[in-house]
Structure 1
Amino acid sequence: MNLFAVNLLLAIVWVVLTDALTLSGLLSGFVLGYAALWIAQPLFGEAGLYFVRVLRVIQLVLYFAYDLTMSSFKVAAAVLRPGTVTTSGIIEMPLDVESDLEILLVANLISLTPGTLSLDVSEDRKTLYIHAMFAEDPAAEAQGLKDGMEHMVRRVFT
């Protein structure tokens, strides 16, 4: 049984024992289960990747929330400021991620961020085509997405 399943089982046991069938009860059970598994980590041998991956997923979620907030303010400022002219365009972002799940996650997170929309992936799955609301410098925009969103997704799966 993998450690995520054990952690989920511990969270469910916590909810049953505390009689708190709520999202906060499940989350607190998951955190307590994670801490218990962290303490018992030497018993699992090579399973340390689970603990690193959970932390990286949390970092990805926090990075996406930050990027979502900042992009929302940037788009709102551009829309509400009279006379603002934006240079939108289609940019090509070379992909370092390889699996279908990684490409899907990068494309969807980019589409969920205001001001950008994933359009297509090339046949060889090496390039992601993106419509960007602020594409004054397409190369810099693509590099920013690579260094940000794609890098964080790639860290989760390595």
Structure 2
Amino acid sequence: MSLLKRVLPHPWLSLSMLIGWQLLMNQVSAGSLIMGAILACLIPWMTNVFWPNPPRACRVDRLFLFVCRVLIDIVVANLQVAKLILGPRRELRPAFVLFPLTLEHEFSISVLASTISLTPGTVSADISADRKTLLIHGLDVGDEQALIEHIRRRYEQPLKEVFECSKR
């Protein structure tokens, strides 16, 4: 491990913290820059042991497509939820669904759970102790199996291609 990586384990976080500090201080002075730089170096260094090592993206092109897909799905889901809430009154069918995971790496599972929660109308509620099942709550679930297949096809399979390609 290089000296720079040991001293500054997360340089982008440090830079973001320094900028955030300066914005909070609402002034640029030598004292606020020095204090911001000290905090921006110390906090990531002291919390480095708590940071997981994310896997490398094997297919960056697939990662880009995944991010685009998620952004589009967020917009579409926002419109669908707005239609459900503001449209003609009908009974919603909220349900908890057990989603069997095929992902193995904790980082991939975390990204999947976050993606599900980011998409309006669904939220990741819990994960089993053995990391094999994700509990998902859906706002309007007509067919549980259709929801499972949708999540598997749209999110889990692409994540597997991006992060778990070495395990194939």
Deviation readout 1:19-59 (Å, 9 max, x if unpaired): xxxxxxxxxxxxxxxxxxxxxxxxxxxxxxx8962211111
**What's 2:145 paired with?**
139
**What's 1:128 paired with?**
134
In the superposition, the TM-score normalised over structure 2's length comes to 0.62
**What's 1:104 paired with?**
110
Which residue, 65, 70, 73 being the options, matches 1:59? Answer: 65
1:1-158 superposed matches below 5 A: 53-157=59-163, 158=165
Structure 1 stretches of 4+ with a deviation exceeding 3 A read none
How far apart are the structure 2 equivalents of 1:56 and 1:137? Answer: 29
**What's 1:34 paired with?**
none
Is the Cα–Cα contact under 8 Å of residues 93 and 143 in structure 1 kept in the other structure? no
Q: Which amino acid aligns with 1:69?
A: V
Secondary structure (helix, strand or coil) at the match of 1:87 reads coil
Is the Cα–Cα contact under 8 Å of residues 94 and 138 in structure 2 kept in the other structure? yes
Q: Which amino acid aligns with 1:99?
A: H
Identity %: 33
Specify whether residues 81 and 140 from structure 1 end up closer, same or farther in structure 2 by C-alpha distance, changes over 3 A only.
Answer: same
Secondary structure (helix, strand or coil) at the match of 1:56 reads helix
- Structure 1 residues 116-125 or 78-87, which shifts more? 78-87
Q: Which amino acid aligns with 2:148?
A: A
Is the Cα–Cα contact under 8 Å of residues 77 and 120 in structure 2 kept in the other structure? yes
RMSD over aligned CA atoms reads 1.8
How far apart are the structure 2 equivalents of 1:51 and 1:153? Answer: 9
Is the Cα–Cα contact under 8 Å of residues 95 and 126 in structure 1 kept in the other structure? yes
How far apart are the structure 2 equivalents of 1:150 and 1:52? Answer: 15
Count of matched residue pairs? 110
Secondary structure (helix, strand or coil) at the match of 1:145 reads helix
Is the Cα–Cα contact under 8 Å of residues 57 and 162 in structure 2 kept in the other structure? no
Cα offset for 1:139?
A: 1.3
Could you tell me which runs of 5 or more consecutive residues in structure 2 were left unpaired when the two chains were aligned. Answer: 1-55
Specify whether residues 95 and 51 from structure 1 end up closer, same or farther in structure 2 by C-alpha distance, changes over 3 A only.
Answer: closer
